[in-house]
Amino acid sequence: MCGIVGFTGSDKQLLESMLSSIEHRGPDGQGTHLDDKVSLGMRRLAIIDPNTGWQPIWNKDNSRCIIFNGEIYNYADIRKELVKSGMTFRTDHSDTETVLLGYDLWEEDILKKLRGMFAFAIYDVKKNELFIARDRLGIKPLYYYQQNDVFYFSSEIKALLQIPGYKRKANKQSLFNYLKYRVHDADENTFFEGINRLDAAHYIKVNSAGKITSKNKYWSPEVNFSFNSKKSDSEYANELREIYVDTVRMHLVSDVPVGISLSGGLDSTGVVAITKQLIEQSSATIHTDKMHTFSVIYPDASMNEENYIDIAADFVKSEKHIIKPTVDAFWQEIEDWIYTQEEPTISSGPYANYNVMREASKYVKVMLSGQGGDELFAGYIPYFSSYIQSALEANRYDALAREFLKGADLYFPYLLQVAKKKIARSKSVQAEDLISSKVFAGFKFGYTPSKGLNQRLFEDLTKYSVPNLLRYEDKNS
């Protein structure tokens, strides 16, 4: 990861303080730019073009510069297109410079060409304007705060807490959503009053007076909300495989060692299997003698997928790293973990990922995972209820009967588990008891999980599930 910070106006001491607070995001060095209109800084973890890709990067006539966090997987193709158009590059093969020169040529339309994870800010000297954008799914974070005609932004909240005069207060609406519905990261609000996140697939323009002059969404996923398929299963399978392989290949673009988080599930197992195939075909490299996989094993037998992890790791002949989180270790590290997360989580599950990332950092600089696979392919048992609803609405009783019979051995034990949890919660302190106080009087949130399967998957991908998973993973890495 890398980290970026900045604000309108000039304050060297504040810039250094903000950069110091996110030093962990970029151990390879830092870069800054200050003038009377803007202050910019970044901490770098060098992944692509480690020798010449230092930031901020300026264009040829020094009219624009960029600070960038993330990686562009198709930068080489875009770079070729820019060279054909007459653009001149200063770096060897920096994806960051590719974004900057792409903005020079296409302005905000460059965002439609990018495949990757990113949050960046481009400073236009002539216009005295900041152009700030975030990737399509919000893999890379970007937070901002406005105070006294100054606009501040950062990759982490803790940098914004360095701002003189900022009073730390909880965002009551965010707390209400969290306590009542277990919802967070679903909109631009954070748990800190006044501090917002830039929504995924959005860009903003900020003038020298610290005002957001425009905010636009540049992408939305294409979704078939109908239950009925437009293609055959084999057609979908072939298309998925092609996209899946191409995506893994592009994510392996790196100049440093790459590892993989292996949970034993279909999502991460697919990633390691395709990576092995690409390496054997000389279509990718991971810059290590052996593939490194990192896995969590729990003492609870119901959550232990060690057998599947072993099968996958043995198949790809990886260097297998096993992490076993314990309750004692959790309590010993809870303060550091909370500091890392910055905001509440809905479970202690992200602590396992925290341990994985810590172990992985000893061996590799880049980690791939199958995060979001369950939300894309309905891998959680509760999605079966949405499937039933969709099948009934479409009068597809044949499909309903077929899937119901196949999934009965999983679905009914799940319903029993839900009932047991409800009984247990009725005997404990409830979130409902907390939010009924005067503190949350009058707060509302229109959260109603969609009944249709594809609609629910879409909402979990863009609002209710994947955004918080991405937040955990970024903080932990």
φ, ψ dihedrals at 41, nearest 5°: -155, 155
Number of domains in the chain: 3
Characterize the bridge pairing of strands 366-368 and 258-261: parallel
Residue 109 sits in a domain of what CATH number? 3.60.20.10
Residue 248, domain member (yes or no): yes
Question: What confidence score (pLDDT) does residue 431 get?
Answer: 59
Pair (181, 202) in one structural domain:
yes
Q: Which residues of 290-314 are buried (b: 16+ CB within 10 A; e: fewer)?
A: ebbbbbbbeeeeeeebeebbeebbe
Residue 341 sits in a domain of what CATH number? 3.40.50.620
Pair (99, 142) in one structural domain:
yes
> Residues within the annotated binding site for L-glutamine?
95
Cβ-count burial of 220 within 10 angstroms (0-12 exposed, 13-18 middle, 19+ buried)? exposed
Closest of 349, 387, 381, 363 to residue 472, by C-alpha: 349
CA–CA separation, 43 and 22 (whole Å): 7
> Residues within the annotated binding site?
95, 296, 369-370
Do 269 and 313 meet the contact criterion of CB atoms below 8 Å apart? no
CA–CA separation, 68 and 114 (whole Å): 13
Residue 474, domain member (yes or no): no
Write down which residue in 217, 249, 269 finishes a domain. Answer: 217
Cβ neighbours for 49, distance < 8 A, ≥ 6 positions apart: 91, 92, 93, 94, 95, 255
User: How many CB atoms neighbour CB 371 within 10 A?
Assistant: 19
Cβ neighbours for 397, distance < 8 A, ≥ 6 positions apart: 391
Whether 2 is a known active-site residue: answer yes
Residue 406, domain member (yes or no): yes
CA–CA separation, 281 and 106 (whole Å): 36
Pair (127, 255) in one structural domain:
no
Could you check whether the bond before residue 325 is cis, i.e. omega within 30 degrees of 0? no
Pair (307, 394) in one structural domain:
no
Question: What confidence score (pLDDT) does residue 388 get?
Answer: 78
Write down which residue in 174, 190, 217 finishes a domain. Answer: 217
Write down which residue in 348, 370, 392 finishes a domain. Answer: 370
The 8 Å CB, 24+ separation contacts for 464-469 are 464/183, 464/186, 465/375, 466/137, 466/371, 466/372, 466/375, 467/138, 467/185, 467/186, 467/200, 468/184, 468/185, 468/345, 468/346, 469/371, 469/372
Pair (111, 24) in one structural domain:
yes
CA–CA separation, 457 and 459 (whole Å): 5
Pair (366, 388) in one structural domain:
no
Pair (360, 238) in one structural domain:
yes
CA–CA separation, 119 and 67 (whole Å): 9
Q: What is the dihedral of CA 35, 41, 47, 50, to 10 degrees?
A: 50
CA–CA separation, 140 and 358 (whole Å): 19
Pair (17, 103) in one structural domain:
yes
Name the catalytic one among 1, 2, 67, 312.
2
Mean pLDDT by 10 residues, the chain (477 residues): 94 97 90 96 81 86 97 96 95 93 98 97 98 98 97 98 95 90 91 98 97 97 82 91 94 89 91 92 82 88 78 92 93 95 90 95 92 88 80 76 72 69 61 63 68 88 93 94
Pair (96, 160) in one structural domain:
yes
Residue 467, domain member (yes or no): no
Pair (292, 143) in one structural domain:
no
Residue 160, domain member (yes or no): yes
> Residues within the annotated binding site for ATP?
296, 369-370
Domain assignment of residue 406, given as a range? 383-462
Residue 468, domain member (yes or no): no
Pair (65, 200) in one structural domain:
yes
17-36 pLDDT tens trace:
999 999 999 888 899 999 99
